[in-house]
């Protein structure tokens, strides 16, 4: 009989673990027996967790051992397995870049022709080079790629960069940003109807959590003759709530404001006559 739970693969320990577990927690899903095991049960959703190295997640999901997985988009591209990438999760953001020793005069990507490039992403690098009709020696290395130029093993590296600190401390400079990455949700391509329905429920929770994080609840006071103008600036989910204040000629307006252009909208509201503006985090936003 088919398991009536969804199986989700997440990274056992590393830069994705905390974000993955936090996301599940915000979705009301608690992992029960810690991550020292291969598998864990959860409460709050029919979900089983498998803890894996991120490298193994694409294959497990492609094979259907796990129905879904959370991992960096870079790793999804690198492994190139038959999976669907269904959702960007917004954490573990990084980029994959080409870096060369600081003292190298870098004329452009033609520099890479014939060079030795160390990387833990040989698949992505190969495609990048082919796309630009360059041929180079790819040296696949797992771990400490940044030290290879100083050791004389490589002329350039192709690696994950986030703050750039590791590059600087190894005497390297970033010269090409090849791709941006963040954690994504991938799924098996042949899920049963039952499991697809469960996945939709999980996605719905993730969307509600993300919408809440991208929006704030806003309350403000304004003179009645300014209320229409102000309401048009913060239309909210359907339309703002307007309540009369006990002070004659004044109202209170409640709505939702997006994080993206938050400060610009606040400035506009003040200019339009809004006073006593309160902004409150939203825990969940069910659309
Ligand atoms: P594993 O043992 O599971 O194979 P790993 O060493 O391959 O782990 P981590 O270093 O934990 O991987 O990184 C996992 C993912 O997190 C990367 O593939 C990338 O998507 C993202 N990532 C890596 N470095 C950073 C960083 N400095 N900042 C943000 N995200 C990062
Ligand atoms: Mg890995």
Assigned domain for 186 exists: yes
What mean pLDDT comes out for the span 65-76? 98
What mean pLDDT comes out for the span 63-81? 98
What mean pLDDT comes out for the span 190-216? 95
- Give pLDDT, residue 281: 95
Q: What is the pLDDT of residues 251-285, one digit of tens each?
A: 999 999 998 889 999 999 999 999 999 999 999 99
Boundary of a domain, candidates 192, 212, 232: 212
Q: Are residues 168 and 276 in the same domain?
A: no
33, pLDDT greater than 80: no
Residue 77 CA: which ligand is closest? Answer: 1
- Give pLDDT, residue 257: 95
**Ligand 1 pocket check for 16: Cβ under 6 Å:** yes
Q: Are residues 36 and 49 in the same domain?
A: yes
Q: Are residues 26 and 154 in the same domain?
A: no
Q: Are residues 117 and 171 in the same domain?
A: yes
Q: Are residues 52 and 78 in the same domain?
A: yes
**Ligand 1 pocket check for 138: Cβ under 6 Å:** no
Q: Are residues 132 and 266 in the same domain?
A: no
1, pLDDT greater than 90: no
**Ligand 1 pocket check for 54: Cβ under 6 Å:** yes
242, pLDDT greater than 60: yes
Which of the listed residues 76, 91, 160, 186 should we mutate to test ligand 1's pocket, taking the one with most ligand atoms within 8 A of CB? 160
- Give pLDDT, residue 113: 97
167, pLDDT greater than 70: yes
- Give pLDDT, residue 2: 58
Q: Are residues 85 and 163 in the same domain?
A: no
234, pLDDT greater than 80: yes
Q: Are residues 75 and 149 in the same domain?
A: no
Q: Are residues 10 and 58 in the same domain?
A: yes
Instruction: Find the CATH number of the domain harbouring 171.
Output: 3.40.190.10
- Give pLDDT, residue 78: 97
Mean pLDDT (the chain) is 95
- Under the banding of pLDDT at 50, 70 and 90, the label for residue 209 is very high
**Ligand 1 pocket check for 190: Cβ under 6 Å:** no
Assigned domain for 262 exists: yes
Assigned domain for 1 exists: no
Q: Are residues 98 and 156 in the same domain?
A: yes
Instruction: Find the CATH number of the domain harbouring 239.
Output: 3.30.70.120
The residue range of the domain holding 193 is 6-90+182-212
Assigned domain for 286 exists: no
197, pLDDT greater than 90: yes
Atom of ligand 1 nearest to the CA of 163: 27
Q: How far is the CA of 112 from the centre of ligand 2 (A)?
A: 25
How many domains are there within the chain?
A: 3
**Ligand 1 pocket check for 10: Cβ under 6 Å:** no
- Give pLDDT, residue 260: 87
DSSP states of the chain as a string? ---SSEEEEEESSSTTHHHHHHHHHHTT-EESS-SSSSEEEEESSSEEEEEE-GGGHHHHHHHTSSSEEEEEHHHHHHH--S-EEEEE---S-EEEEEEEETTS---SGGGGTT-EEEES-HHHHHHHHHHTT---EEEE-SS-GGGTTTTTS-SEEEEEESSSHHHHHTTEEEEEEEEEE-EEEEE-TT--HHHHHHHHHHHHHHHHHHHHHTEEEEEEEEEGGGHHHHHHH---SS--EEEE-SSTTEEEEEEEEESTTHHHHHHHHHHTT-EEEEEEE-S----
Assigned domain for 196 exists: yes
122, pLDDT greater than 60: yes
- Under the banding of pLDDT at 50, 70 and 90, the label for residue 3 is low
Residue 78 CA: which ligand is closest? Answer: 1
């Amino acid at each position: 009989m088919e398991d009536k739970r969804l199986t989700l693969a997440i990274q056992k320990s590393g830069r994705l673990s905390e974000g993955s577990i936090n996301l599940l927690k915000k979705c009301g899903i608690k992992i029960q027996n810690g991550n020292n095991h291969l598998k864990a049960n959860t409460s709050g959703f029919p979900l089983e967790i498998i803890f894996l190295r991120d490298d193994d997640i694409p294959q497990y999901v492609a094979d259907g051992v796990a129905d879904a997985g959370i991992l960096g988009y870079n790793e999804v591209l690198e492994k190139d397995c038959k999976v669907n990438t269904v959702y960007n999760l917004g954490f573990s953001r990084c980029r994959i870049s080409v870096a060369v020793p600081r003292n190298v005069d870098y004329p452009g990507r033609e520099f890479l022709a014939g060079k030795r490039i160390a990387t833990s992403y040989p698949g992505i690098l190969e495609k990048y080079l082919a796309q630009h009709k360059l041929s180079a020696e790819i040296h696949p290395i797992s771990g400490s790629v940044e030290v290879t130029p100083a050791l004389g093993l490589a002329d350039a590296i192709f690696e994950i960069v986030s703050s750039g600190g590791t590059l600087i401390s190894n005497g390297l400079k970033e010269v090409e940003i090849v791709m941006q990455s963040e954690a994504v949700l991938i799924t098996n391509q042949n899920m049963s109807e039952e499991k697809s329905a469960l996945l939709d429920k999980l996605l719905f929770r993730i969307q509600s959590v993300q919408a809440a994080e991208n929006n704030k609840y806003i309350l403000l006071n304004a003179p009645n003759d300014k209320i229409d103008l102000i309401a048009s600036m913060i239309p909210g989910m359907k339309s703002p709530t307007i309540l009369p204040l006990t002070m004659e000629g004044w109202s209170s307006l409640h709505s939702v404001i997006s994080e993206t252009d938050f400060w610009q909208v606040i400035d506009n509201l003040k200019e339009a006559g809004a006073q006593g503006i309160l902004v409150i985090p939203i825990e969940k936003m069910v659309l």
